[in-house]
Chains A and B, each alone.
Chain A
């Protein structure tokens, strides 16, 4: 939540800029956005009409680059590099690696060091831990614990990344599952409360019957 508050203003700023730019200036804007240290979301900029217009133009690579930062990982960039994406600046490289950690943290709660080192192209544990602490935890995009003994990173919180359109259905499905489960739980609690009330009523009645009978027996005695 905090990360969203922090980057909301930055997103506004870039979206307003994008509305009055096109072509080369837009390319420069995208470069600036993908290098910004506090920006980790690009859907709003992608949704801007001027940015969409880059499709099919000679700046289409800029659009591809923005999509990479919105949805992709460092591996995607290395694989797609053969497709001629422009070389990334050091800030962009760091940003893409931070986003890669986010994607990994979304899928698993315990991330082995080996997998992390491979995914973000880091050669040793020390460098990896420095990156996780300085570039990820201090940036507020993830929270968790570094387990040096088991060589893994335990994720407690990870900020959300931009969603691909096709992921929406899956998310809606999960949410409705959760809602269904919660409704069922509430219903069963209601039923249990009714059951408990009924049992206590029955108990009281039974208690009274016993007392009446005791009285009768006393009288007859």
Chain B
């Protein structure tokens, strides 16, 4: 099915969606911030 193949090809071409370094930095920053909140919350609970 050529049409389906073309659509799959178009979809795959859009992956990976984000691969810029800046994104990775922000992502990791957000990741660590949230883990820090979790850590502090555990402290508070204790």
Q: How far is B12's CA from A107's CA once the two chains are assembled, in angstroms?
A: 11
A41 and B13 within 8 A (CB): no
Tell me which of B2, B7, B13 contacts A1 (CB under 8 A). Answer: B7
User: Are B6 and A161 interface neighbours, CB within 8 A?
Assistant: yes
A171 at the interface (CB under 8 A from B): yes
Q: Which residues of A contact B10 (CB under 8 A)?
A: 106, 157-160
Does A43 interact with chain B (Cβ within 8 Å)? Answer: yes
Report B5 CB to chain A, min CB distance, Å: 5
Q: Which of A47, A106, A160 contacts B7 (CB 8 A)?
A: A160
- Which of chain B's residues 1-23 have a Cβ closer than 8 Å to chain A? 2-3, 5-15
CB contacts between A and B, total, < 8 Å? 54
Of B6, B7, B12, chain A has the most CB atoms within 10 Å of the CB of B6
A163 CB-CB contact with B under 8 Å: yes
Q: How large is the interface on B (under 10, 10 to 19, 20 to 34, 35 or more residues)?
A: 10 to 19
Q: Give bound CA distance, A158 to B6, whole Å.
A: 10
A8 at the interface (CB under 8 A from B): yes
- Cα separation A4 to B6 with both chains bound (whole Å): 9
**Number of residues in A with C-beta < 8 Å to the partner?**
25
Instruction: Please determine whether A44 and B2 come into contact, CB atoms closer than 8 angstroms.
Output: yes
Q: Which residue of B lies closest to A42 (CB)?
A: B2
Q: Which residue of the partner chain, among B6, B8, B11, B14, contacts A41 with CB atoms under 8 Å?
A: B6
The reply to whether A157 and B14 contact each other, CB–CB distance below 8 Å, is yes
The reply to whether B3 and A8 contact each other, CB–CB distance below 8 Å, is yes
Also in contact, A4 and B9, with CB within 8 A (given A157-B14, A178-B15): no
Contacts of B6 in A (CB 8 A): 4, 41, 159-163
Q: Is A88's CB within 8 Å of the partner chain B? A: no
Which B residues are CB-close (under 8 A) to A168?
5
B7, A4: Cβ atoms closer than 8 Å: yes
Q: Are A160 and B14 in contact, with the CB atoms below 8 A?
A: no
Does A198 lie at the interface of the complex (its beta carbon under 8 Å from any beta carbon of B)? no
Binding site for A on B (CB under 8 A): 2-3, 5-15
Per CB-CB distance, the 4 closest pairs between chain A and chain B, nearest first, are A160-B6, A160-B10, A160-B9, A43-B2
